[in-house]
Amino acid sequence: WFTVVLGVLAIIPAKRERLQALRSQHGSVALSSGVTVDSIVGGMRGLKCMVWEGSELDAYKGIRFHGMSITECQRKLPAANSGEMLPEAMFWLILTSEIPSAAQISSFSSTLAKYSELPKHTTDLLDSLPKSLHPMTQLSIAVSTLNHDSSFAKQYAAGLHKKDYWSPTFDDSINLLAKLPTIASRIYRNIYDAKDQGIDQHADWSMNFARGMGMGENSGMVDMIRLYLALHGDHEGGNVSAHTAHLVNSALADPYLSYASALNGLAGPLHGLAAQEVLVWVLKMQKEIGDDASEEAIEKYLWKTLNSGQVVPGYGHGVLRNPDPRFTALQDFAKRTKGCSDDPLVKLVIKNSQVATKVMKEHGKAKNPFPNVDATSGVLLNHFGMQQTNFYTVVFGVSRAIGCLAQLVWDRALGLPIERPKSMSIEAIFKAIEEK
Ligand code: NMX
Ligand code: MLT
Is pLDDT of 283 > 90? yes
Is the backbone of residue 57 left (phi > 0), alpha (psi -120 to 50) or beta? beta
**In 3D, which of 183, 180, 284 has the Cα closest to residue 232?**
180
Which of the residues 317, 324, 383, 411 is marked catalytic? 317
Which of 44, 228, 229, 235 for mutating ligand 2's site (highest number of atoms within 8 Å of CB)? 235
- Find the mean pLDDT for residues 232-250: 98
Q: Model confidence at 415, in pLDDT bands (50, 70, 90)?
A: very high
- Give me the interface pTM, i.e. the ipTM: 0.99
For the CA atoms of the chain, what is the radius of gyration? 23
- Find the mean pLDDT for residues 242-246: 98
Is pLDDT of 291 > 90? no
Q: Which amino acid is at 73?
A: C
Q: Model confidence at 332, in pLDDT bands (50, 70, 90)?
A: very high
Which of the residues 26, 243, 271, 383 is marked catalytic? 271
Task: Assess whether 171 carries a catalytic annotation.
Answer: no
Which of the residues 172, 223, 374, 411 is marked catalytic? 374
Number of H-type helices and E-type strands within the chain: 20, 4
Atom 34 of ligand 1, residue of closest alpha carbon = 317
Atom 21 of ligand 1, residue of closest alpha carbon = 366
Spacing, Cα 99 to ligand 2 middle (Å): 24
Q: Report whether 381 contacts 223 (CB < 8 A).
A: no
For residue 368, how many other CB atoms are within 10 A of its CB? 19
Task: Assess whether 271 carries a catalytic annotation.
Answer: yes
Is ligand 2 within 6 A of the CB of residue 372? yes
Q: Which residues, 6+ apart, have CB-to-CB distance to 243 below 8 Å? A: 50, 237, 265
Is ligand 1 within 6 A of the CB of residue 371? no
Spacing, Cα 262 to ligand 1 middle (Å): 20
Pairing of strands 30-32, 35-36: antiparallel
In this prediction, residue 259 carries a pLDDT of 99
Spacing, Cα 338 to ligand 2 middle (Å): 29
Ligand 1 atom, smallest distance to 306 CA: 2
**What's the pLDDT tens digit per position in 9-50?**
889 999 999 999 999 999 999 999 889 999 999 999 999 999
Is ligand 1 within 6 A of the CB of residue 377? no
Atom 6 of ligand 2, residue of closest alpha carbon = 239
- Find the mean pLDDT for residues 113-134: 98
Is pLDDT of 369 > 80? yes
Distance between CA atoms of residues 151 and 260, nearest Å: 16
- Find the mean pLDDT for residues 195-222: 98
Q: Which ligand is nearest to the CA of 308?
A: 1
Is pLDDT of 353 > 90? yes
Ligand 2 atom, smallest distance to 318 CA: 9
Is pLDDT of 1 > 80? no
Q: Which residues, 6+ apart, have CB-to-CB distance to 134 below 8 Å? A: 267, 390
Task: Assess whether 374 carries a catalytic annotation.
Answer: yes
**What's the pLDDT tens digit per position in 254-274?**
999 999 999 999 999 999 999
In this prediction, residue 10 carries a pLDDT of 87
Spacing, Cα 121 to ligand 1 middle (Å): 40
Is pLDDT of 193 > 90? yes
Q: Which ligand is nearest to the CA of 317?
A: 1
Ligand 2 atom, smallest distance to 324 CA: 5
Domain boundaries 60-420, corresponding CATH code: 1.10.580.10
Atom 9 of ligand 2, residue of closest alpha carbon = 239
Mean pLDDT, rounded, of the chain = 97
**In 3D, which of 415, 424, 318 has the Cα closest to residue 372?**
318
In this prediction, residue 129 carries a pLDDT of 98
**In 3D, which of 195, 208, 184, 197 has the Cα closest to residue 113?**
208
Distance between CA atoms of residues 347 and 355, nearest Å: 13
- Find the mean pLDDT for residues 121-143: 98
The dihedral through the CA atoms of 175, 218, 135, 235 has a sign that is positive
Residue ranges of domains in the chain: 2-49+424-435, 60-420
Atom 8 of ligand 2, residue of closest alpha carbon = 239
Spacing, Cα 235 to ligand 2 middle (Å): 6
Share above pLDDT 90 across residues of the chain, in percent, rounded to a whole number = 97
Atom 1 of ligand 2, residue of closest alpha carbon = 235
Is ligand 1 within 6 A of the CB of residue 187? no
Distance between CA atoms of residues 263 and 271, nearest Å: 10
Give the DSSP per-residue string, 192-261. Answer: H-PPP----TTS-HHHHHHHHTT-TT-HHHHHHHHHHHHHTS---S-SHHHHHHHHHHHTT--HHHHHHH
Spacing, Cα 265 to ligand 1 middle (Å): 16
